[in-house]
Amino acid sequence: MSNGNEFVIVREYEAPKKLVYEMWTSPEHLNHWWGPAGMKVEVVRMEFKPGGTFLYSIVLPDGGMVYGKFVYREIVPNEKIVFVDSFCDADGNPQRHPMDPGWPIEILNTIMISEQNGKTLLTLKGIALNASEAEVKTFVKGFGSLKQGWSGTLAQLENYLSSVKSPTKS
């Protein structure tokens, strides 16, 4: 149960559970849908295993560059991915949020994938990790922005899933 400090977003997909899970496991897929809507994201490196990292870059509208990183904690194939998410420098060293210095440096995210009524349900839960009381408050105040950002990213996943399920016809 959440004590109010946990961010939760749920998305339903018309795609097999195994395919939805697969979208999180390789750079080939992540390059097509991961990141803020409308921005160019590139996978720098990825080791999809417990203790491995996913380092990516985001090209901002002004041409600047921001980096992000996942450190995987737990992976249950086709069911669950647990990772610590943070902004970072180009070498993967955690950094403060580039637009909100009060944001927690680390967020612990859990993605659960299940089947329900013939569809795949993706549930993402996030909590501030190793955060001060002030950082937790900033995180909770940011739930609206998180919802908007994750909704855009998960919509991109939905669009990409459609293209993967339905190859272009000639």
Ordered by where they begin, the domains of the chain are 6-37+76-84+96-165 (3.30.530.20)
At 98 the pLDDT is 85
Higher pLDDT, 20 or 61: 20
Confidence category of residue 14, pLDDT binned at 50, 70, 90: very high
pLDDT of residue 1: 40
Residue 122 has pLDDT above 70, yes or no: yes
Tokens of 84: 């610590």
pLDDT at 2: 52
Residue 170 has pLDDT above 80, yes or no: no
What pLDDT band is residue 164 in, cutting at 50, 70 and 90? Answer: confident
Tell me the per-residue pLDDT of 24-77, one tens digit each, with 9 for 90 and over. 999 999 999 999 888 889 999 999 999 999 999 999 888 889 999 999 999 999
Kindly report the three-state secondary structure assignment for every residue of the chain: CCCCCEEEEEEEECCCHHHHHHCCCCHHHHHHHCCCCCCEEEEEEECCCCCCEEEEEEECCCCCEEEEEEEEEEEECCCEEEEEEEEECCCCCEECCCCCCCCCCEEEEEEEEEEECCEEEEEEEEEEECCCHHHHHHHHHCHHHHHHHHHHHHHHHHHHHHHHHCCCCC
CA–CA separation, 92 vs 160, rounded Å? 27
**pLDDT at residue 99, as a whole number:** 84
Q: Are the CB atoms for 122 and 116 separated by under 8 Å? A: no
- The confidence score (pLDDT) of residue 169 equals 44
Exposure string of 61-81, with b = 16+ CB inside 10 Å and e = fewer, is eeeeebbbbbbbeebeebeeb
pLDDT at 168 over 80: no
Which has the closest alpha carbon to 107: 3, 4, 7?
A: 7
Predicted confidence band of residue 150 (pLDDT cuts 50, 70, 90): very high
